[in-house]
Chains A and B, each alone.
Chain A
Amino acid sequence: MSGLEQAPVGASPQRGAGANPVATALNAFFRRYGLQSGTVLMAAIIWTIFAIGSPETWLHRDIYSSLMSTVPVTQSGIIALTLTFVVIAGEIDLSFGSIMAVGTWVFMSCPQHELGLIAALAAGMGVGLLNGFIVVRFGIPSLVATIGSWFFWGGIVIVGTGSVGAGTSGGFVTNLLTGRIFGYVPAEMPWMLAFAFVLWGLLNRHRFGAHVYLVGDNEQSARMMGVRTGRVRMGVFALNGTAAAFAGISSTLEAHYFWPTVGSGAMLPTVAAVFLGGTSIFGGRGTIFGTFVAAFVIGAIEPGIISLNLTGFYTQVIYGAVIVIALIVQSAFRGRAER
């Protein structure tokens, strides 16, 4: 090209590590997977504490069967996976608890489960799209818009049902979503794995995911480079709404009873899982893997506390602490990685 002789550039981030290939590789690994390594380490520490405190619980397989049914839907681990998209895109959705209720209500209102499932997923996607539309079209911060939508849709379901619940029936969909494989593994678990796999592909190997990262990182840049940022932002809300409807139905079928307040307790653990998994509150950074692991850590906190003979009231204290600590750790990590 121009025949210019440039000095080797770009060595700035890790000067001195270049000589040793092992150190370089390790350094590169931690720069890329540092947060995920942290999440896994923390999961191991928490498990060890629980296992020492109550080996009869944590070294027995029943607790894991139980976690595999509660973490994916009741604790809304599946929603945490899609909420990861929302947060990477630089947004937040706090309305998913109510979308769980909307989806389940639509499902329960249909005479037929198969049809009901499709209608409910469509309803969840619709409410999500509406969230996205309000945020994008009117420029309202998603925090505020989805708090509004959380109250609104929660209220609609309470009014629509007269706050009266109903029992669920068995059948194909019930078995599909909540059956037990070999009488032990709850169907929720393969569902969560399937969601994780597909969403990982969508985030890391699809144009949509690439645009989600770009929008959350620098929306203006993305727009200037031709990314249709409005669509991407609406897309993440639609995705989250769809997953919320799914989780609402699944948790309702698991409980055999439709509570119109289903999902009202989902917010804290779900949001906690996303941040604990290393997804940046400022957008542009986050992984499905991190959220997946963190969802199980969060899900294990309540049974863990009870197994240690502490009162369950501590659960909320710990969720809150986890969110704040995760954010502080992230912030410290970011400061090191970027400056």
Chain B
Amino acid sequence: MDEPGQHTTNLLELHGISKSFGEVRALEDANLIVGMNEIVGLLGDNGAGKSTLIKIVTGFHHPDRGTITWKGKPLEHLTVQRARDLGVETVYQERALADLQSLWRNIFMGRERTTRLGLLDVGGMRDETERLMVEFLRFTSQAVTPESTVGSMSGGERQGVAIARALHFEAELIILDEPTMGLSVTETRKTLDFVRGIKAAGKACIFIDHNIFNVHEVADRVVVIDRGKTAGEFKTSEISVTDLIGRMQHLAETGSLDGGTPAKADA
């Protein structure tokens, strides 16, 4: 077994996960470990099984075989609701925002603060949004208020809103699925800064991105998924981004990450 985090108990461990959809084998004996307060980058080609693996973590799919443990305790039947209750939050590619609605309504989407009769605590939610804007989002412009519509914000800011929302609701593990896709360089920078904010807030993150530079930059550890299997993993402190790219290239050409020496974790 590998030692991904500095902590004895890992936040999440998936071992020997297999999942088929009819004839299609999406995952076969895949492993994924996320340490406490660790940012794990997930790399792999389209169709390698990243999405399926993530959907197993969020309880959307159930594995045919394999074990899932959360803080050292096995999870028998993980449902979407259960995953949420545990503190697994996905920030979707589509960003799950409502463009025409105000910032505060987006932050509290589906989890509005209400009285027992369902009356909204509008003032409280606005104040809380204001606090997030200052502390996490750093929206310092006068033009942006809790009443500003999310649709008027830039791509990176919208990612920030989605991440701030997850952090606000005490997420333990935030999953970012291609958060920089379609974003300009500046907006990508902002998004990566928000990912660092997750680390600074003491939470863990699974970061999926096609861009190896982005992954290498923010992740503590990179896990490579290939054809449904965990092909290997690297601590980003121990491998340069050029090396990592070389390995990925090698994987694409030969089906193996072993193009050189760096320690490949066994599975």
Residues of chain A lying within 8 A (CB to CB) of residue B118: 206-208
Tell me, in angstroms, the Cα distance from A17 to B141 when the chains sit together: 12
Cβ of A3: which chain B residues have Cβ within 8 Å of it?
A: 200
Interface residues of B toward A: which range? 35 or more
CB distance from B54 to the nearest CB of A (A): 14
**Is A317 at the interface (CB under 8 A from chain B)?**
no
- The tally of residues in A whose CB lies under 8 Å from a CB in B reads 40
Across-interface contacts of B142 in A (CB, < 8 A): 18, 24
From B109, B196, B197, B199, give the contact of A227 (CB < 8 A): B109
Residues of chain B contacted by A12 (CB below 8 angstroms): 152-154
Give the Cβ gap from B179 to chain A, nearest Cβ, in Å.
15
Chain B neighbourhood of A2, CB < 8 A: 193, 196-197, 199-200
Cβ-based interface call for A10 (8 A)? yes
Chain A CB within 8 A of B100 CB? yes
The interface-forming segment of B29-37, B42-50, B90-98, B207-215 is: B90-98
Q: B148 contacts which chain A residues (CB < 8 A)?
A: 10, 13
Partner of A8, one of B84, B95, B140: B140
Separation of A122 and B95 alpha carbons in the complex (Å): 40
Q: Are A226 and B120 in contact (CB under 8 A)?
A: no
Q: Is B184 an interface residue (CB 8 A)?
A: no
Indicate whether A220 reaches chain B with its CB closer than 8 angstroms: yes
- Chain A proximity mask over B124-160: 1 for CB below 8 Å, otherwise 0: 0000000000011011111111011001111011000
| Inter-chain contacts of A208 with B (CB < 8 A) | 118
Task: Choose from A1, A9, A24, A227 the contact partner of B154 (Cβ within 8 Å).
Answer: A9
Encoded as 1 (CB less than 8 Å from any B CB) or 0, chain A from 220 to 232 comes to 1110111100000
Min CB–CB distance B102 → chain A (angstroms): 9
Q: Given the complex, which residues of B lie within 8 Å of A217, measured CB to CB? A: 98-101
User: Nearest-CB distance from B111 to chain A (Å)?
Assistant: 7
**A227 close to B110 (CB less than 8 A):** yes
Task: Looking at the assembled complex, report how far the CB atom of B39 sits from the nearest CB atom of chain A, in whole angstroms.
Answer: 12
In the complex where A13-B152, A218-B97 touch, is A8 in contact with B111 (Cβ < 8 A)?
no
Closest to B81 in A: A226
Contact with B along A262-285 (1 / 0, CB 8 A): 000000000000000000100011
Q: Which residues of B contact A (CB under 8 A)?
A: 84, 90, 92, 94-101, 105, 108-112, 114, 118-120, 122, 135-136, 138-145, 147-148, 151-154, 156-157, 190, 193, 196-197, 199-201
Q: Apart from A207-B112, A207-B119, what 14 extra A-B contacts exist at CB < 8 Å? A: A1-B136, A9-B139, A9-B140, A10-B152, A13-B143, A18-B141, A18-B143, A206-B118, A208-B118, A211-B110, A213-B98, A218-B99, A222-B98, A227-B110
